[in-house]
Every structure is written in structure tokens, then in C-alpha cells.
């Protein structure tokens, strides 16, 4: 499957992009397509022009930050955000978007939140959980944490969607969604549906089949993007 096959013509402002530099690109594309939302991988400056929203996926935040500069798209993302494009950062993506990083220099700095990297330990300390988030779903949502950061503080204009113990796991401003876990690695479409609506799209009502009819390998059809 090449990029042309992934990107059929869609009206401007009706597409969600997934930053295609490193990380869980294919998994996010799969979830959006399951919702019936037009989506495509993006990495060139011109590919950002008609997006309603952009997902910055989980991966390795230091690597992603360097690639943003190498491909010269960090300033493109900032400019398009200020022009109205919505943003969602999952795990490493949340680190990139935060205005403050504990003990480190921030990257894009677009949402008033402080994030601490690798807050749970090594890869072996990854875990799954479940949480009720009534704003997103009438049923509990599965959560997957992989070398996850923690949101330890949010500022004015940022709302907490999910607090777990001593940290914030999900938060949002009018233009940005942050999750320190990986919704794209679970069958649930709740967060992708919520983000699509945040982008002004209409993916439809909650479907109880979200957590049932899911092929764990379905994202692999996106894995050979040219």
C-alpha cells in the first residue's frame, strides 16, 4: 500500500493527519479509519495545509523532537495550530506539546501543562488499566501505559479529563488533547471519536462494538507506506 492509496481526495478541513516521523502511526490511522474518519500520514510541510487536526503519536520523544527540526516542520505545526488546527499528543506526543518538562527544555510548548518523562520506570514497568471518563464514553475505557510520562500540573484554560492517583493522565485545552497512555493500542475508539469531534468532524455516536470487533493486526495494512 502506497501513500496515494492511503490519501483519496477529501474536502479540505475534513482530514486528520498523523505525524509520520516515528512511533504509532499505523495504529492511529487504523482507529480513525474504523470510525470512518478520513486520515493520512503527514511529514512534508505541504501535507499540513488542509488538516482539521493532527495526532502526534507515541514513540520516543527525543527522537521525535529531533526529527521535527530535521524535517523543519516544528514551526509548521505551531503555525497551523494558531490558524485553528487541533492537536492530540499521545505519550511522547504529549511531551512534545507541553509548555514545561520537568528538568528539561520544552519542545513545541503549546499547552500550559508540566510533564515528567519516563515517570513509571523502564519498559518492564508498563501496565494496563481501565477508567471511567463519562465525557468520552458510557463504559470504562481501557488504558495502556508504556514507559509513560505523567502530567503533574496544568495551568489556566486546561481541563483535567482523567486523574489517577498523584498524576493527571489526560487533559485538554480548547485546541489540544493530551493523553499519557496509548488509546491506539486498545480496541476502544472513545478517544479517537472525541478528538474527531474536537476537530469539528462527525464520526457518529458511541458504538458498543468498539471493544468487540477489533482485529489486533488490522493496522498492519498501513505498515508499507511508501
On whether the CB atoms of residues 58 and 184 are closer than 8 A, the answer is yes
For 154, the grid coordinates are 496544568
Q: How many angstroms separate the CA atoms of 90 and 206, rounded?
A: 21
Q: What is the CA radius of gyration of the chain?
A: 16
Annotation says 28 is catalytic: no
What's the predicted TM-score (pTM) here? 0.88
Lowest mean pLDDT among 59-63, 177-181, 188-192: 59-63
Q: What is the DSSP letter of 146?
A: S
Tell me, what's the pLDDT at 127?
79
Over the stretch 27-66, which tens digit does the pLDDT of each residue have? 999 999 999 999 999 999 999 999 999 999 988 888 999 9
Over the stretch 111-165, which tens digit does the pLDDT of each residue have? 999 999 875 655 656 779 999 999 999 999 999 999 889 999 999 999 999 999 9
Backbone angles phi, psi at 217, to 5 degrees: -105, 10
Task: From the candidates 31, 91, 107, 199, give the one annotated as an active-site residue.
Answer: 91
Better pLDDT: 63 or 6: 63
Annotation says 27 is catalytic: no
Task: From the candidates 28, 31, 182, 192, give the one annotated as an active-site residue.
Answer: 182
Q: Domain limits at 196?
A: 3-222
Task: From the candidates 27, 47, 172, 184, give the one annotated as an active-site residue.
Answer: 184
Rounded (10°) angle between helices 61-70 and 74-82: 90
Backbone angles phi, psi at 56, to 5 degrees: -100, 110
In 78-126, which ranges are E strands?
86-90, 98-101, 111-116
Tell me, what's the pLDDT at 217?
67
**CATH number, position 175:** 3.40.50.880
Quick one: which of 222, 92, 88, 208 has its CA closest to 146?
Answer: 92
For 212, the grid coordinates are 468487540
How many domains are contained in the chain? 1
Q: How many angstroms separate the CA atoms of 50 and 40, rounded?
A: 11
Tell me, what's the pLDDT at 119?
58
Q: How many angstroms separate the CA atoms of 36 and 15, rounded?
A: 11
Annotation says 46 is catalytic: no
Amino acid at each position: 500500500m502506497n501513500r496515494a492509496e492511503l490519501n483519496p481526495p477529501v474536502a479540505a478541513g475534513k482530514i486528520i493527519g498523523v505525524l509520520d516521523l516515528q512511533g504509532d502511526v499505523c495504529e492511529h490511522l487504523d482507529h480513525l479509519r474504523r470510525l470512518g474518519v478520513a486520515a493520512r500520514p503527514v511529514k512534508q510541510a505541504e501535507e499540513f495545509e488542509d488538516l482539521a487536526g493532527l495526532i502526534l503519536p507515541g514513540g520516543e520523544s527525543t527522537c521525535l523532537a529531533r526529527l521535527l527540526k530535521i524535517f523543519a516542520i516544528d514551526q509548521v505545526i505551531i503555525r497551523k495550530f494558531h490558524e485553528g488546527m487541533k492537536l492530540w499528543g499521545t505519550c511522547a506526543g504529549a511531551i512534545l506539546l507541553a509548555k514545561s518538562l520537568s528538568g528539561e527544555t520544552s519542545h513545541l510548548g503549546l499547552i500550559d501543562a508540566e510533564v515528567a518523562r519516563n515517570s513509571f520506570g523502564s519498559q518492564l514497568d508498563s501496565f494496563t488499566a481501565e477508567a471511567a471518563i463519562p465525557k468520552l464514553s458510557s463504559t470504562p475505557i481501557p488504558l495502556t501505559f508504556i514507559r509513560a510520562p505523567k502530567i503533574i500540573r496544568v495551568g489556566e484554560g486546561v481541563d483535567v479529563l482523567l486523574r489517577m492517583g498523584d498524576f493527571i493522565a489526560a487533559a485538554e485545552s480548547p485546541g489540544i488533547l493530551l493523553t499519557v497512555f496509548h488509546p491506539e493500542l486498545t480496541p476502544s475508539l472513545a478517544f479517537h471519536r472525541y478528538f474527531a469531534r474536537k476537530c469539528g468532524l462527525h464520526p457518529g455516536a458511541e458504538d458498543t462494538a468498539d471493544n468487540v470487533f477489533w482485529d489486533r493486526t488490522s493496522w498492519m495494512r498501513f505498515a508499507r507506506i511508501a
